[in-house]
Amino acid sequence: MLVISGKEVSAAVRQTIAEEVKEFKSETGVTPGLAVVMVGDNPASAVYVRNKHKACAEVGMYSEVHTLPASTTEEELLALLRQMNENPALHGILVQLPLPKHINEERVIANISPEKDVDAFHAQNVGKIMIGNYSFLPCTPAGVMELLDYYGIDPAGKNCVVVGRSNIVGKPQALLMLERNATVTVCHSRTKDLASFTKDADILVVAIGRPKFITADMVKPGAVVIDVGINRMEDGKLCGDADYEAISEIASAMTPVPGGVGPMTITMLLKNTLTAAKNFQKK
């Protein structure tokens, strides 16, 4: 079985991004800039934010991190976003989710300039993805497509089943597969007889947040399995939404967890930030 290594692909893509950033800086004198905002002290979010900051430095980008207390009001956060929208040194703005309960996530996302929305969560960017005319893609689904391309796995004409319908992964993933000429089925918590769909998949993308939920008897022999899930077991080890050990016996290719889709997410964020900087220069 082919192990689809996000670490390997991520390293290759970041090398290309670093070269492009260097070239962009020498041509324009501008350094692509990313601002990350975190509200509260969610430990998982803190790790992500640190990794994003480190990744920017690695490819030669400017980055700033704003860590706000959990007591921050929605108005205070929106005021900060307004400043960032107007700051020419920042090309990308990302607000780390989840936010504290008293802050409306939808309103916050709507107040990020669509041109700086490097997560591609703003309604305007979501609409552009829907019609296939976009500048940015949400980082995780974009990372999945990059993995498939790197390993020469073409979705065209294949049955692709996406398990999960979130706005962050499931829905955009289905649209990207559709754009690449796959025949797409979206399954979710209300799907009856889930296995009857997953067993028909040439490419199975799982993003439901339930450890080892997809078992080997739910997978077609020879299928490509992309596991977006990351769950911590009671023993502290990480695992995906699919049973890697059992499925790897029958799949033709599969992403491990950790080291599969995970490393790609931040890499695609860097790619989006570079795209945003280039788009600002064209104005």
Which is the catalytic residue, given 7, 41, 54, 96? 96
Which residue among the candidates 117, 119, 241, 243 is catalytic per the annotation? Answer: 119
Neighbours of 230 (CB within 10 A): 17
Residue 61 three-state SS: coil
Nearest-angstrom CA–CA distance, 215 and 218: 6
Backbone φ/ψ region at 30: left (φ over 0), alpha (ψ -120 to 50), beta: beta
96 is catalytic: yes
User: How far does CA 180 lie from the centroid of its chain?
Assistant: 18
**Torsion angle of alpha carbons 34, 9, 14, 65, nearest 10°?**
30
* Cβ 266 vs Cβ 139: under 8 Å: yes
One-letter amino acid at 250 equals: I
Q: Is 52 a catalytic residue?
A: yes
- Euclidean distance between CA atoms 45 and 70, whole angstroms: 13
Of 109, 108, 62, the C-alpha closest to 88 is: 62
Token pair of 258 as six digits: 């950790």
Catalytic residue among 52, 158, 212, 220: 52
Measured over the CA atoms of residue 152, residue 154, residue 158 and residue 160, the dihedral's sign is positive
C-alpha triplet 62, 76, 127: angle, nearest 5° = 65
Residue 193 annotated as catalytic? no
Provide the annotated active-site residues: 52, 96, 119
